[in-house]
Amino acid sequence: MDDVRRPIELRVPPRLTPAPLPAGRWLLPLAGIILIGAGMFLYRFNPAEHAFYPVCFFHEWTGWHCPGCGASRALYSLVHGRCLAALRFNPLFVLLLPWLAWAAGRRVIAYSLGRAWAPVRMPAAVVTGLVVTVLLFGVLRNLPWRPFIWLAPP
């Protein structure tokens, strides 16, 4: 009775579906289109002349310049190729702009390739130094004394 026939198991291969596309596949081209569009918009419309740009609530409420005051006018000057004028509006923003672009670009590229992006890791001393620098810049640009008057936007 060893010849007992057992039923044959039919194994159906799993259904082949295409691999899901990375969630951010279109993020890089979209970011590029948005960046070019924002640059063209900023090139055409001067923030000092048009009221549709957001206002700084800190400056509106206190009359003091926050560390970000003048950043849109600095970007306008950079888009027009006037680096010294951009430095006059907000020198800290202009100096930090390459790092900000690198950090944002790194994240967009990693996400668009479907990879888990690694956050930018900085030692605590660097973060503390950056926060102190921004706060000190915000205080110094509001002092009326001659050595610091150039930090305030015109």
Tokens 């000092």, residue located: 48
Tell me, yes or no, whether 2 lies in a domain.
no
Tell me, yes or no, whether 114 lies in a domain.
yes
| Among candidate residues 47, 34, 32, the one with its CA nearest the CA of residue 85 | 47
Q: In angstroms, rounded to a whole number, what is the distance separating the alpha carbons of residues 84 and 77?
A: 8
Question: Which of residues 132 and 8 earns the better pLDDT score?
Answer: 132
pLDDT higher than threshold 90 for residue 119: no
Tell me, yes or no, whether 5 lies in a domain.
no
Averaged pLDDT for residues 104-119: 75
Which of the four pLDDT bands, split at 50, 70 and 90, describes residue 77? very high
Q: In angstroms, rounded to a whole number, what is the distance separating the alpha carbons of residues 53 and 68?
A: 14
Tell me, yes or no, whether 14 lies in a domain.
no
Contact 77, 69 (CB under 8 A): no
Number of domains in the chain: 1
pLDDT higher than threshold 60 for residue 53: yes
Q: In angstroms, rounded to a whole number, what is the distance separating the alpha carbons of residues 62 and 41?
A: 30
Q: Dump pLDDT digits (tens) for 15-45.
A: 666 555 455 677 778 888 999 999 999 999 9
Helix (H, G, I), strand (E, B) or coil at 146: helix
Tell me, yes or no, whether 8 lies in a domain.
no
pLDDT score recorded for residue 122: 82
Mean pLDDT rounded to a whole number for the chain: 84
Q: Dump pLDDT digits (tens) for 60-70.
A: 999 899 998 99
Tell me, yes or no, whether 145 lies in a domain.
yes
Tell me, yes or no, whether 102 lies in a domain.
yes
**Range of 37's domain?**
27-44+52-151
